[in-house]
Amino acid sequence: MKYIYWNKESSLVLFTDLLTTFTRVLVWTALSWLLGISMGYAGYKSKWFEAFSMPIINVIRHISPFCWLPLIILVAGIGELAVGITLLISLAFHGVIVTLEMLHSLPRNLIEQAKLDGASGWNMFMHIELPVCTAGAIDIFRVLWGVGWSAVIAAEMLGVRSGMGYRLLDFRYLLRYREMLLYIAVIGFIGMICDLLLKMLKRKTTSWTWQ
């Protein structure tokens, strides 16, 4: 079995693949997070919207995003857009459900007291709901990031020419198993570091919010 020894060029390829994958996950996780929180907040404010949308969202979120691959490829082809749509389907609907659960668990006495004090609309959101939900919103992003970081590896096998998932598939075809193991270790390590950083951000934000 023939292997190519690791060198500076290999390190550059690894760094490029890692940066590409990281950027994809960051962009699509952020979009999914914003969409999920927006739809969840809309459902929290409108019982009609929640009753109408939740059954549909629940059905879609229980279907593996990879079941949609033939349709995604038919609509978007293969490449960057297909990867993004796959990640969006993987993440956004879960964000809606978690956001709704978080908002429905807000202390009712706090909300009622704020209403008695005249808070409503934008003032209620900025001064009551947002500060109370900041830590929860970071937790939602943390969960979505973890799912996205895992799902992107398979999604990058949809015809893109860069990224950790693409390179793993390439290594598999070339029987370069040592490089595969290195990439898998890097994926796990970076995922752990990102999770720790998000936990630190949550603690910092919580302390700032309540000072």
11 domain-assigned: no
Distance from C-alpha of 111 to C-alpha of 108, rounded to nearest angstrom: 5
The confidence score (pLDDT) of residue 207 equals 59
Tell me the residue range of the domain where 175 lies. 18-209
The one-digit pLDDT tens for each residue of the chain (211 residues) are: 344 455 677 788 899 999 999 999 999 999 999 999 999 999 988 889 989 999 999 998 888 888 888 888 888 888 888 889 999 999 999 999 999 988 888 777 877 777 776 666 667 777 677 777 888 899 999 999 999 998 888 888 777 888 998 898 888 888 888 888 999 999 999 999 999 999 998 888 765 544 5
Alpha-carbon 118 to chain mean position: 36
Examine residue 4 and state whether it is found in any structural domain, yes or no: no
For 134-164, b/e burial (b = at least 16 CB within 10 A) is bbbbbbbbbbbbbbbbebbbbbbbbebebbb
pLDDT at 185: 94
Give the model's pLDDT for residue 210. Answer: 44
Whether 12 is covered by a domain: the verdict is no
For residue 105 the two structure tokens come to 């668990």
Which single residue is written with the structure tokens 């096998």?
157
Give me the number of domains the chain comprises: 1
Cβ atoms 132, 110 nearer than 8 A = yes
Burial tier of 210 (Cβ tally within 10 Å: 0-12, 13-18, 19+): exposed
**CATH code, 133:** 1.10.3720.10
What's the one-letter identity of residue 33?
W
Assigned domain for 117 exists: yes
Whether 36 maps to a domain, the answer reads yes
CA angle 149, 178, 66 (to 5 degrees): 35
Residue 45 resides in a domain: yes
Is 3 part of a structural domain of the chain?
no
Task: Please report the pLDDT score of residue 11 as a whole number.
Answer: 83
Evaluate whether residue 8 is within a structural domain: no
